[in-house]
Each structure stands twice: as structure tokens, then as C-alpha cells.
Amino acid sequence: MTAPGPVPVLRVRDLVKEYGEGDARVRALRGISLDVERGDYVAIMGASGSGKSTLMNILGCLDIPTSGTYLIDGADVGRLDEHQLAILRNRRVGFVFQSFNLIPRMSALANVELPLVYGGIGQADRRARALAALEQVGLTDRVHHEPNQLSGGQQQRVAVARALVTAPALLLADEPTGNLDTASTGDVLEIMDRLNESGRTIVIITHEDDVAKHAKRVIRLVDGEIVEDRRQAPVDGPPPRLPEKDRVAAR
């Protein structure tokens, strides 16, 4: 037997995803294999239609592959029943989407508490953890605002807090800055950088070079295949600063 090494956060082998049947069949993923180690910061890049969202949805347990295996934190997702899968999705993976996906007419605080409600955590504990997550994204002064009372950048920071509140092994973000202006993009990327510096594992999907340069590793997809997988030096120079009042509390 080989000595057990550290368990990677993600271990993906020969992942294939096909949509449709017969002539309409699309092979969105054609055999993806990769490992993501704890603490890594990975950007997945590729043209529209190259399979990025398909891969993210499978890694986040929102969809199932046609074939292939993948382990999250050592758990073989294909062998889990519905209940185990729901627990994994809720506790081990945090999602950030391009379109924020916050629940309207619910405060930022209530949105961030929601994954903990599903996770069966008591109310006082939920509130304390949600407030701490909102502090991490610099929104302590906006906790009672509803999504439509927040800017796009602030809404996305609430979504990051919601993704973080369960302390997941992995943060998955699909084009998280795709709907944001330059200043808000800088804010969200600064938060991601900070989270990674404090040990959080991040996989971010983007087609923007300016976003990908924040990552430590870049994987490029073409037509559902990995064509490039390289390490890169972290972005040079200090990250863009948040406005004074919104600044994320020091770690």
C-alpha cells in the first residue's frame, strides 16, 4: 500500500457529460481529470460553450456526469444517496453565481442565514455566524438591507458571505464578476484573494484574463477538454482597496 497523502479537496477522473440523444447529442465534457489541493486558487477559463458551467454544476453536485468519478474532500460523490448528497452540497461546497441568486424581500442577514437553516443550526448561532460572514465581506452596515436596496457589487458580496457561512471545503464561483462594474469586480476579487490567503480553496470560472490573474493556477477548456493547466505567480502589487467604510475587517 502507498502511504496516504493529504486528501485533495477535489479529485476528478475521466468526467464525461453528454446532453441529449442521437443526432441532438452534445458532448459537453470529454474526459476531464484533475486534482485540486487544499488552499489552491484555480481559474477555469474557456470560450462560451466550452463546458465551464457544466463542469461547475457537476463539481457542485447540482448535476450528475454521464460517466467518470469525482471525490469531494475524499467522498465519492457517485456513491452517495440523495440525503448524503444534500448534506455534502450544503456543507462542503459554497456557490457564487454570476446573477447573485439572492432571495428577494429577504434581508442580507436572512439570505446568509439560509444555508444554516437547511443545515439545522440553532437561531442564535445562525445569526452570529451570518453576521461574522457579512463582516468578512465588509457589509456590517448593510445586514438589514434587502437585495434590491443593494448595489450589484454589494449583492455579490452578500452571495459570497452566504457561500462562506457553512465553512465549506471549497468555494465554487461561476463568472462571479460577470455582471459587475470594474470597482465592484475589484472588491469581490479582493475578498476572494483574502479568503484564499486565509486557506480557503477556490475554483473560479471566468473568461476574463484580469480575473484569472488573481488565481495561482489556470486551467483552460476547449470543447470540453483541458488543453492547458499551469501555475502562475500571484497577481503583483497590492489588491485594489475597498472604500474605507466597507473595508473588510483584518483577519
Verify binding: residue 240, ligand ADP, rule CB under 6 A.
Answer: no
**Largest Cα–Cα distance in the chain?**
58
Residue 51 C-beta: closest distance to ligand ADP, Å: 4
Give the one residue of 50, 53, 111, 184 binding Mg ion; rule: CB under 5 A. 53
User: What is the separation of C-alpha 177 from the centre of its chain, rounded to a whole number of angstroms?
Assistant: 12
Nearer to ligand ADP, 116 or 171 (CB): 171
Which residue has cell 463546458?
51
Contact partners, residue 38, CB within 8 Å, separation at least 6: 6, 8, 9, 169, 199, 201
- Coil, strand or helix: which one is 107? coil
Q: Which residues, listed in sequence order, are joined to residue 34 by a DSSP beta bridge?
A: 12
Contact partners, residue 155, CB within 8 Å, separation at least 6: 100, 102, 147
Nearer to ligand ADP, 48 or 148 (CB): 48
Give the one residue of 10, 12, 15, 54 binding ligand ADP; rule: CB under 6 A. 54
Residue 161 interacts with, from ligand ADP, Mg ion, none (CB under 5-8 Å by kind) = none
Verify binding: residue 53, ligand ADP, rule CB under 6 A.
Answer: yes
Binding mask 2-21 for ligand ADP (x = CB under 6 A): -----------------xx-
Task: Return phi, psi of residue 176, to 5°.
Answer: -65, -20
Which residue has cell 460517466?
67
Residue 188 interacts with, from ligand ADP, Mg ion, none (CB under 5-8 Å by kind) = none
From the list 53-61, 70-78, 190-198, 220-228, the region that binds Mg ion by CB under 5 A is: 53-61
- Coil, strand or helix: which one is 200? coil
Verify binding: residue 54, Mg ion, rule CB under 5 A.
Answer: no
User: What is the separation of C-alpha 186 from the centre of its chain, rounded to a whole number of angstroms?
Assistant: 17
Residue 198 C-beta: closest distance to ligand ADP, Å: 28
- Strands (E) across 164-222 are located at 170-174, 201-205, 217-222
Stretch (H or E) spanning 15? strand 10-19
From the list 49-57, 70-78, 108-116, 177-185, the region that binds Mg ion by CB under 5 A is: 49-57
Residue 44 C-beta: closest distance to ligand ADP, Å: 9
Residue 26 interacts with, from ligand ADP, Mg ion, none (CB under 5-8 Å by kind) = ligand ADP
Contact partners, residue 205, CB within 8 Å, separation at least 6: 43, 44, 45, 52, 53, 55, 56, 173, 174, 175
Give the one residue of 9, 12, 28, 159 binding ligand ADP; rule: CB under 6 A. 28
Instruction: State the number of binding residues for Mg ion (CB under 5 A).
Output: 2
Q: What does the binding site for Mg ion look like in residue numbers (CB under 5 A)? A: 52-53
Q: What does the binding site for ligand ADP look like in residue numbers (CB under 6 A)? A: 19-20, 26, 28, 46, 48-54
